[in-house]
Amino acid sequence: MNLDLERIRKNARNSSTEDLLDRITVYRAGMEAAAIEIIETELDRRGIRESDIRQHGESRSGTIKAGEIARRCSLCHRPAVVRAWGWHRLWGRLPIFPRRFLYCDVHRRNRRGDKSTSS
């Protein structure tokens, strides 16, 4: 697989610090070594220390069950912390059919009034 390292560098420069910290901790297992190095370099450039990275990883440690691959929220790039039932909506309004969604901490609290069951 060919990596476009310049594209990865540009993406890292334009990403939020929180996003980079999630990538280097939660999503690390699914990343190429070259991409990890680029992200670590960008975090270092921003003054993020190893202890900050470790602390972020510990705060996210409850987001993944042992043996599972980290999954993204259905609505953003953050790590999912809960899977729940919700409505797939046409044009964002008309409920069409129920389906499972993955939600991060932020979207879990801000969900619509859809009935949910965690699993």
* Structure confidence by residue, pLDDT tens digits, 37-61: 999 999 999 999 999 999 998 887 7
Q: Are 18 and 56 contained in the same domain?
A: yes
Q: Are 78 and 53 contained in the same domain?
A: no
pTM: 0.69
Q: Are 51 and 96 contained in the same domain?
A: no
pLDDT at 117: 41
- What is the Cα–Cα distance from 40 to 100, expressed in whole angstroms? 34
Q: What is the mean pLDDT of residues 19-29?
A: 89
Domain with 91, as residue range(s), is 71-119
Q: Are 59 and 105 contained in the same domain?
A: no
pLDDT at 66: 55
Q: Are 86 and 105 contained in the same domain?
A: yes
Q: Are 40 and 85 contained in the same domain?
A: no
Average pLDDT of every residue of the chain: 84
Q: Are 39 and 75 contained in the same domain?
A: no
The domain tally of the chain equals: 2
Q: Are 93 and 118 contained in the same domain?
A: yes
Q: Are 91 and 55 contained in the same domain?
A: no
Residue with the larger pLDDT of the pair 117 and 37: 37
Name, in order, each residue with C-beta under 8 angstroms of 100's C-beta and a sequence gap of 6 or more. Answer: 83, 84, 85, 86, 119
Q: Are 50 and 84 contained in the same domain?
A: no
In SS3 terms, 50-68 reads as: HHHHHHHHHHCHHHCCCCC
Q: How far is CA 10 from CA 20, 39, 78, 119, in A?
A: 12, 10, 20, 37
Q: Are 50 and 89 contained in the same domain?
A: no
Question: Residue 16: which pLDDT band, with cuts at 50, 70 and 90?
Answer: very high
Q: Which residues pair with 97 in a beta bridge?
A: 88
Q: Are 52 and 78 contained in the same domain?
A: no
Helix (H, G, I), strand (E, B) or coil at 69: coil
